[in-house]
Structure 1
Amino acid sequence: MTDIAERARHWAIWLTRFASVTGTEGERALPAALAARLREDPAWRGCEIWLVPIPDDRLGRSCLAALARGTGGETLLLTGHFDTVPFDDYADLRGLATDPEPLRDALLQRLRNPANPAEELARADLASGSFLPGRGLLDMKAGLAAALAAMEAFLLQPRRDGNLLFVAVPDEEVNSVGARGLGEAMPKLLEEHALRLVGAINLDCIGDRGDGRVGRSVALGSVGKLLPTALVIGQPTHASHPLQGINAAAIAGAIAARVEWAPELADGADGEAGIPPTLLSLKDGKRHYDVTTPDSCFACWNVLTMGRPAATIFAAFEGLVTDAVRTLAASLAERQLRASAQPHSPPAIEVLHVSAILAEIAEDPEAAAALRETAERLAREGLSLPDQNERLTLAAWTLTGRSGPAVIIGFGSLPYPHVRLGGGEAACALESAIAIAREQMRVGSGVEIGLQAHFPGISDMSFIGEADVTSVAFIAGNTPAWSSGVRWSGQVIGTPTVNIGPWGRDYHTPHERVETGYAFEILPRFLLEVAQARFAGATR
């Protein structure tokens, strides 16, 4: 095993053992602990190391920055998140969830009689010795570790062209507070350190159920994400007299069925088929069981984007909702005729933008103040952004004094802009460096590293890369908790960005595991090759 691989493994295990679940004290404490560790390590002598506080963060979190200087001002950013999802799902192995080597032995014991193909594959992987488990090891501390090892190798070089800036950020798993905070801080950071950012490598993992050919890839962009929502207001009635009202749950169900996998919301690009939308949550507003039909329901959908503006997607979503409620209304009218033998017109179910409701509230200073107070309280309580937006939309509707039936559509969370390499000089130079490094790895190590147009999931690339943020104002206007909960200016770093990270399987599950040969042996060297090729191109 080469020295660079030993160092990558060392940092991967150290980082994994430092539990850093999003929103916990461990997440807050890790940057300072890593800074102290780097400062006492001889390999990092001469490296500038500091913390970048997240502005106005209620939990007091920060990023860890380390700068390895060479010649000139050109700088390549290596970045990734250090927070993880919780590890309660490990059950009786919870105490080993962040200790990779003992966890491997314990999981092999647990999986000695696998119950399904997923468990059979997990057992085979762990028994092979080629995979190492641990919460956050794949997603994505092995990526951070590879960058740290590459930085150490860079520092050993007698002549160094360019600069490597390593930044580990918190909170990718929830609201990307770390990457967004870094975006706000980056202009001042670059000025203070006399740096010129020429590109970035995000270090996130790629899942691969096969032999790693998909996982060993460079992603030249990332899908974006929107979270359209619908608050349905019904006309509640006693269940013995259903014809005297309109059930909010029935309306919501009709909308959910119409939107699920709707091709109108599948946004493809660069020859890739769009990923269809899917329902993430559907719940009524009742807090207890009774025999009154629900007066409200709230639903939200996952919509992944590759190019279309938010307003275009929102218009398509509105069309689906409108079609669903009209179809349902006609069906209910027909059923009422059969049940009562009385002719009945279809009920009018209005579809409104939440921005229109908020504009109406803004004209009443007393109502506007009440809604702001509610927004601030919900944010302090730490509710999820979808829950904050649900309650604020309902509060705004109530303040208007209107009655249902109606559907109020909006957005329920932070948007993740889609990103791709642009056509500028810096983006072309980074893409060229990647091509050179891929060929060097193929010839020198016999490893084929592929290309993907898009990283297959949402990531911090949205706030680092060349994102189109022209839709942010439209999204903000239809997100009630924008100012109180989302709190994003729309600023991104805006540098050419790709993803180069480890591969493995089953992240966010107790069988999360990284393929160690690529993560420790190949990935650090490949990152270094990309950096050297990028800076060599700048000095020729």
Structure 2
Amino acid sequence: MNDHPDPFPFEELCRDLALRLTGRPSVTGTPDEAGFGPWLAEILTAESRLGPTAEVWTFPVEEGDPRLCVACMVRGSGRATVLLTGHYDTVTTSDYGDLEEVALRPEELAPRLRARLESARPGSAEWLAREDLASGRFLPGRGLLDMKAGLAAGLSAMAAFAADPRARGNLLFIAVPDEENASAGARRAAVELGPLARERGLEIRLAVNLDAIADDGDGTAGRVVALGTVGKVLPTAFVVGAPVHSGFPLRGLNAAVLAAALAQRLEWAPELTDETAAEPGTPVSLLSLKDGKAGYDVTTPGTAFAYWNVLNHRRDPARVLDIVEALAREAVRACVEDLHARALRSGQPSGPIATAPEVPILRYSQLLARVRATDAAIDQAVAAEGARLAATGMPFPDICQVLTAMLWTRSGLSGPAIVLGLGSTPYLATELADPRTRADIDALLAEAPARHGTSLHAVDYFAGISDMSFFGQGDAGAFARLAPETPAWDTCVRLGPSSLAGVPTVNLGPWGRDYHTPLERIEADYGFRVLPRLLFDLATRVLRSGGVTT
């Protein structure tokens, strides 16, 4: 029951927009993602509820890239501006199986998904989804929760702002592609934000990311304002062994075994869990482990490659490789000692186990410096190969593996050895550093039960990596410390001090459950009715206040 009737039809508009946006496919890396931007610009241009003076424009992720960032601005009076932003790309729909045809049509999907879940085991995720759908409070659909309902809520707040003849300040909306991959859209939008503000006479006081919050409970943990976001780096290990015929294993050293020792030691390692925030840190986890063999033969693996997801709060991300290196030395030493003892028991101690009990561990920067000493053209070769591989659509960790292997081959070194590096675009942790904005948020939290009929509280960090890393107030100096250990930084990453917008940034979005799975669903009342009102309330508070003080 709605005890807080809306003077503006937030719920009707938000639900309508959310279903329209969800109904248009936009899977990351597909032509549908490239086609979504122009379509959205047309929708916004034709949307009369955004007011007669709404400005809509687009700009590409980069020259020649068909993916577009879509911007819309509704002006009130003055220069003060709040940015509402989020991504429109989604993960694949193929995991829906025989329900894929309705994965983008939530109202058709709901009864069919519920029927599929009839025999779900009590207490399972499927059982909870069945109960949620039976309650009528939740609506499923690929991308509805993550995060097209958030975009719809932002646009609904824009429409309410446009309908207010006394509106102070301006609202700017930017929808971006590629968040599910490498945030190419947000990175471009962050760089564009400063010039855009200067050209249009804007003062960006706050950016609100509209991403979804997951909550398997009653929604208390989902109805939140996140005052920052976690950061992420991706440590990699290129492991070189001493390959031999499998009939004579003691004469060599299996690269995959060394990599497995690293994987076992690093998994959930407390040394890599950043506990500096109020919320518990997220443990490190292995994302990939594979050997370098192209097919079956009876030779032991000569190389292996692994990488890990490491999240940071306040820890310097450049410190992560120091910790990984220490743990790697410990793990490899224990592994080699154990193998040596086994070889002695077999009566055949020979090969690298007997002659090289210490496996050398290098950084990518050290390997590159060694090759530079004899090959003056290596930097150009690495850049050219990185650009070539990126043009094929190869994932960035795989590009890093290929480039590290290329350097190893040219170095003249022999295994066993381990080369540590970084294998992704880094995401920096951000914090809300503006006390005046925090005061506006505290007032919103205090008044939310009475004004909007909902509980609302603040958390220090959005738990997953997000586009906030590029809009928010992070330590851009970290890029200079991370670049030397990241293959193809200048070719594929291209981040520097001017890459961050550096504005106060928070996350306020819908809540639901199981995004990135076929059970993805949004809690409809909060997402369609309450959230757009909260966004309108927060934006207008900030626009009325004194502005940024940092």
User: Shift of the alpha carbon at 1:55?
Assistant: 2.0
Range 261-270 or range 174-183, more displaced: 261-270
User: Shift of the alpha carbon at 1:359?
Assistant: 2.1
User: Shift of the alpha carbon at 1:380?
Assistant: 1.5
Corresponding letter in the other structure for 2:410 = L
Range 149-158 or range 37-46, more displaced: 37-46
Distance 2:201 2:59 in 1: 17
2:452–2:534 CA contact under 8 A, matched in 1: no
3-state DSSP class of the match of 2:208?
strand
Q: 1:195 to 1:336 in 2, by over 3 A?
A: same
Of residues 244, 250, 270, the one that matches 2:251 is 244
Aligned to 1:212: 219
Corresponding letter in the other structure for 2:511 = W
2:246–2:300 CA contact under 8 A, matched in 1: yes
Distance 2:462 2:285 in 1: 19
3-state DSSP class of the match of 2:358?
coil
Distance 1:96 1:429 in 2: 45
Distance 1:19 1:372 in 2: 34
Distance 2:184 2:348 in 1: 58
Unaligned runs of 5+ in 1: none
Aligned to 1:35: 41
Distance 1:318 1:383 in 2: 27
User: Shift of the alpha carbon at 1:342?
Assistant: 5.4
Aligned to 1:352: 362
- 1:415 corresponds to 2:426: yes
3-state DSSP class of the match of 2:79?
strand
Aligned to 2:70: 64
Range 445-454 or range 397-406, more displaced: 445-454
Aligned to 2:405: 394
User: Shift of the alpha carbon at 1:535?
Assistant: 1.9
Aligned to 1:362: 372
Distance 1:46 1:210 in 2: 42
TM-score for the superposition, normalised by structure 1: 0.96
Aligned to 1:466: 473
Aligned to 1:520: 528
Of residues 286, 307, 311, the one that matches 2:314 is 307
Aligned to 2:276: 269
3-state DSSP class of the match of 1:333?
helix
Distance 2:294 2:56 in 1: 50
Aligned to 1:194: 201
Q: 1:409 to 1:496 in 2, by over 3 A?
A: same
Instruction: Let me know the Cα RMSD of the aligned residues.
Output: 1.6
2:476–2:496 CA contact under 8 A, matched in 1: no
Of residues 96, 101, 109, the one that matches 2:102 is 96
The 5-angstrom pairing of residues 113-512 of structure 1 reads: 113-115=119-121, 117-340=124-347, 344=354, 347-363=357-373, 364-422=375-433, 427-490=434-497, 491-512=499-520
Corresponding letter in the other structure for 1:41 = E
User: Shift of the alpha carbon at 1:59?
Assistant: 3.5
Q: What do the CA deviations read for 1:389-412 (whole angstroms, capped 9, x no partner)?
A: 011101110011211000000001
1:154–1:528 CA contact under 8 A, matched in 2: yes
User: Shift of the alpha carbon at 1:507?
Assistant: 0.2
3-state DSSP class of the match of 2:304?
strand
User: Shift of the alpha carbon at 1:531?
Assistant: 1.1
Range 113-122 or range 393-402, more displaced: 113-122
Q: What do the CA deviations read for 1:387-441 (whole angstroms, capped 9, x no partner)?
A: 100111011100112110000000011111011111xxxx222211112222332
Q: 1:368 to 1:438 in 2, by over 3 A?
A: closer
TM-score for the superposition, normalised by structure 2: 0.94
2:479–2:495 CA contact under 8 A, matched in 1: no
2:382–2:488 CA contact under 8 A, matched in 1: no
User: Shift of the alpha carbon at 1:369?
Assistant: 4.0
Corresponding letter in the other structure for 1:192 = E
Distance 1:76 1:367 in 2: 46
3-state DSSP class of the match of 1:172?
coil
Distance 1:64 1:223 in 2: 26
Of residues 523, 536, 539, the one that matches 2:544 is 536
1:222–1:459 CA contact under 8 A, matched in 2: yes
1:388–1:485 CA contact under 8 A, matched in 2: no
User: Shift of the alpha carbon at 1:347?
Assistant: 2.6
Corresponding letter in the other structure for 1:455 = F
Aligned length: 534
Q: 1:342 to 1:399 in 2, by over 3 A?
A: closer
The percentage of aligned residue pairs carrying the same residue is 46
1:436–1:530 CA contact under 8 A, matched in 2: no
User: Shift of the alpha carbon at 1:488?
Assistant: 2.9
Range 258-267 or range 353-362, more displaced: 353-362
3-state DSSP class of the match of 1:181?
helix
Corresponding letter in the other structure for 2:441 = I
1:224–1:418 CA contact under 8 A, matched in 2: yes
Q: 1:434 to 1:367 in 2, by over 3 A?
A: closer
Distance 2:232 2:392 in 1: 25
3-state DSSP class of the match of 1:72?
coil
Corresponding letter in the other structure for 1:420 = E
Q: What do the CA deviations read for 1:189-224 (whole angstroms, capped 9, x no partner)?
A: 111111011111100000000110000011111111
Runs of 4+ aligned residues of structure 1 deviating over 6 Å after TM superposition are: none
Q: What do the CA deviations read for 1:13-38 (whole angstroms, capped 9, x no partner)?
A: 01000111111222112222122122
Distance 2:348 2:299 in 1: 24
Range 81-90 or range 468-477, more displaced: 468-477
Q: What do the CA deviations read for 1:326-380 (whole angstroms, capped 9, x no partner)?
A: 1122222222222226594553310000011122233413444443332222112
